[in-house]
Amino acid sequence: MGYLIFIIPALLISLYAQFNIKSTYKKYSQVRSSRGTTGANAAAALLQRNGLGGKVAINQIPGDLTDNYDPRDNTLNLSQTVYGNTSIAAIGVAAHEVGHAIQHNERYAPLELRAAIVPVANFASSASFPILLVGFLLNSMNLVLVGILLFTAVVVFHLVTLPVEFNASQRAVAQLSQAGLISYDEVPMVKKVLGAAAMTYLAATLTAIANLLYYVMIFAGARDE
């Protein structure tokens, strides 16, 4: 019952976030930008504007909303629905990924921190639940504590991700507006697309925190017995 107290609100927010991003993206993917710029062209223009034109390659990749910036090889990877699309949604998403490229170039502290803890977070994400499960089955609170500590690293990763994503979206809106790639009336539309995307990161963070609180609650209860 205690689990439901923590997880139900997080689950509802997560479901809403997924619905919101899909519906918002679908809506604004059907609204053509007034400048008629494709996602790839918008990304190229913003990279050039920030002195990254010859440093970051723009690639088209399969999928929908699979867009990402890879700092390991300085590639900006745009999905098929963004790369050649002239919609508000497409140029907003492309600009968001450029925001990450700018962060990387400027050595933005939260991005640097997130990159540093990725190996630990990846290991913790795969190892924490099995260790917790074995700990609970064997009634070994020491193993449960190890699992909790590992899962804490996952929560920290989510928390660090939030300012990285929010900042990239803020940069995207400012860059698109300053470069004249969107009109004044289109600014709120881009903000809605990127705001919906940001909600998914917030939901993931809240879900991770809810799970951590539940594990801590079980651990504390077992120690008191």
The catalytic site residues sit at 97
3-class SS string, 165-194: HHHHHHHHHHHHHHCCCCCHHHHHHHHHHH
Angle at which helices 88-106 and 187-224 pack, to 10 degrees?
60
Residues 48-83, buried b or exposed e (16+ Cβ, 10 A)? eebebeeebebeeeeeeeebebbbeeeebbbbebbb
Dihedral class, residue 110 (left if φ above 0, else alpha if ψ from -120 to 50, else beta): alpha
Strand partners, 223: none
Cβ(85)–Cβ(140) below 8 Å: no
Cβ(173)–Cβ(88) below 8 Å: no
Q: Distance between CA 100 and CA 84 in Å, rounded?
A: 20
